[in-house]
Amino acid sequence: MTISTFEDITRNEPEKGLTKGRGKKAGRNNAGSIMVRRRGGGAKRNYRIIDFRREKNGVPAKVAEIEYDPNRSARIALIKYVDGEKRYIVCPDKLKAGDTVLSGSDAEIKVGNTKLLKDIPEGAFIHNIEMKKGQGAVLARSAGASAQILAKEGKYAHVKLPSGEVRLIGLNCSATIGQVGNINHANIDMGKAGKSRWKGRRPKVRGVAMNPIDHPLGGGEGKTAGGRHPASPTGLLAKGFRTRKKKKDSDRFIIKKRTK
């Protein structure tokens, strides 16, 4: 088992005014049918309300605390604006308590600052990227994630995403400078089944170990393998079968597809 050191955490309790209850659905829809398998249980969580828009331009904010968020792999930073308002943001790498962050055209090219893509130089590493102006960040938000601006052409920037995909994103969309923190999250090993249960993940049973009525790969005398293409219980092919629509509207924004 490997665990995080939590040495970057400065406070254990969240800001009450920026949290709300988070119900559990255990992978079920409104009819109670299981839509996502292997979900259920887990520790209770409160949702931390994150500011993904950073629309408070020109108002400096001081990083008050660095906190753990059970709802995401990245750390979150509690920032306090000079007018007294507090907000949570996804914490970039190397951002510490006491630092100052700013958003808007007047902000420096500094870790934690948010600017429009047209104001960020080519070659810069960014995260928390919008896909539509005013939508809020949707790309490169998880621990250790970062994208890079390769070029600017017309109304769009060529951005290389963490997957390797190069995509056109409007120059009027915002992004935050730097890389998301908690980089070593990818090296964490659960170590035991119980730790997965704490996170709401139930055990995984192989399809070949089931009965024919429960799974397309089930049944047979003894250990049966081969002859059947791997699939989900509903028959959706696995192991490399493409599920993306062949004529998706957003394909025109993709310059280079993600690396395999």
What's the pLDDT score for residue 114? 96
- Residue 193 is predicted with a pLDDT of 95
Query: What amino acid occupies position 113?
Result: N
In this predicted structure, what is the pLDDT of residue 260?
Answer: 67
Burial class of 90 by CB neighbour count within 10 A (0 to 12, 13 to 18, 19+): buried
Report the DSSP pairing between strands 166-170 and 254-256.
Answer: antiparallel
d(CA 223, CA 132): 51
109 DSSP 8-state letter:
S
The predicted structure's pLDDT at residue 223: 84
Is the domain covering 205-253 a CATH 4.10.950.10 domain?
yes
Q: Which CATH number fits domain 16-184: 3.40.50.300, 2.40.50.140, 3.30.930.10, 3.30.429.10?
A: 2.40.50.140
Instruction: State the CB neighbour count (10 A cutoff) for residue 140.
Output: 24
Strands (E), the chain: 19-21, 46-48, 61-67, 76-81, 86-90, 100-101, 114-116, 125-127, 147-153, 156-160, 166-170, 174-177, 254-256
Q: How far apart are CA 32 and CA 46, in angstroms?
A: 23
Of all residues in the chain, what percent are helix, strand and coil, respectively (each to 5)? 10, 25, 65
Domain ranges of the chain: 16-184, 205-253
Same fold, 16-184 and 205-253: no
Task: Look at residue 198 in the predicted model and tell me its pLDDT.
Answer: 94
Strands 147-153 and 254-256: unpaired
Q: Show the 3-state SS of 209-234.
A: HCCCCCCCCCCCCCCCCCCCCCECCC
119 secondary structure, DSSP code: G
pLDDT per residue as tens, the chain (260 positions) = 999 989 999 999 999 999 999 889 999 999 999 999 999 999 999 999 999 999 999 999 999 999 999 999 999 999 999 999 999 999 999 999 999 999 999 999 999 999 999 999 999 999 999 999 999 999 999 999 999 999 999 999 999 999 999 999 999 999 999 999 999 999 999 999 999 999 999 999 998 899 999 998 888 888 877 778 888 898 888 888 888 898 999 999 999 998 76
